[in-house]
Amino acid sequence: AQTVTQSQPEMSVQEAETVTLSCTYDTSESNYYLFWYKQPPSRQMILVIRQEAYKQQNATENRFSVNFQKAAKSFSLKISDSQLGDTAMYFCAFMKPDNYQLIWGAGTKLIIKP
Amino acid sequence: NAGVMQNPRHLVRRRGQEARLRCSPMKGHSHVYWYRQLPEEGLKFMVYLQKENIIDESGMPKERFSAEFPKEGPSILRIQQVVRGDSAAYFCASSPVGQGGMNTEAFFGQGTRLTVV
């Protein structure tokens, strides 16, 4: 069975700094999808970025980028020039192809300080 | 286009009562997924429904929990005879087709926080 582990329960950085959230996963699949979701205090679950395992290139969305290390089964999220609005819970999630179940990590609480 | 709408946002029930959670998918979406989030944990898959069909309920507890997605109206997650352990946030997501890849992103609602007292 697939598992997703986020080892940092909480992180705190100053505004404008760069922060990296870690995520590791366990699977025997060779192809799959990985996601980072943001959950602000409103509780809305918002997709931040996603990665297809068969793509070597790391995904990037504006200030958000990932470091995908397939052999190490690692999928970290880097937030550059952090903003107060980035304060939220961040969840890493895994999905097998041709499936629909998202397997979630426990989340990392990120606090951006002014 | 309104997003996924869940109501109520907060629901308090006494032990033994019934809880009914509603989810209206985005317009044009015919696939609905329910997830449960316990405190300090990530989401856990419960059930996947299409209109009038339960596709996969492997994550649903065997007793007291049921879900439906009728031809007309919202999807309903029903919990009978609630217990304290049912206290959690329940999230609904919808997609236009089955979420089996990158082109079928599921959109989430804001969740219903159920508290059993």
Phi first, then psi, for residue A76 (nearest 5°) are -95, 155
Residues of A in Cβ contact (< 8 Å) with B101: 33, 97-98
Residues of B in Cβ contact (< 8 Å) with A23: none
Question: Could you tell me which residues are beta bridge partners of residue B33?
Answer: B48, B93
pLDDT value at residue B104: 62
Minimum CA–CA partner of B38 in chain A: A106
Cβ pair B42:A105 closer than 8 A: yes
Local structure of A71: helix, strand or coil: coil
Confidence tier at A11 by pLDDT (50, 70, 90): very high
Question: Could you tell me which residues are beta bridge partners of residue A64?
Answer: A61, A79
Question: Could you tell me which residues are beta bridge partners of residue A68?
Answer: A75
* Strand ordering across the sheet containing B65-68: B5-7, B19-24, B75-79, B65-68
State chain A's mean pLDDT as an integer.
Answer: 93
Confidence tier at A39 by pLDDT (50, 70, 90): very high
- DSSP string across chain B: ----EEE-SEEEE-TT--EEEEEEPPTT--EEEEEEE-TTS-EEEEEEEETTEEEE-TTS-SSSEEEE--SSS-EEEEE-S--GGG-EEEEEEEESS---STTS--EE---EEEEE-
Check whether A75 has a pLDDT greater than 80: yes
Share of chain B above pLDDT 70, in %: 93
Per-residue pLDDT reduced to its tens digit, B40-93: 788 999 999 999 999 999 999 999 999 999 999 999 999 999 999 999 999 999
Confidence tier at B99 by pLDDT (50, 70, 90): low
Count, in order, helices (H) and strands (E) of chain A. 0, 12
Minimum CA–CA partner of B95 in chain A: A100
Cβ pair B110:A44 closer than 8 A: yes
Interface of A with B (CB under 8 A): 4, 33, 37, 42-47, 50, 52, 91, 93, 95, 97-107
Interface test with A, best of B7, B45, B102 (most A CBs within 10 A): B102
Question: Could you tell me which residues are beta bridge partners of residue A95?
Answer: A33
Residues 6+ away with beta carbon under 8 Å from A63: A79, A80, A81, A82, A83
Structure-token pair, residue B92: 């609904």
The C-alpha atoms of residue B35 and residue B44 are separated, in whole angstroms, by: 5
Residues of A in Cβ contact (< 8 Å) with B93: 45
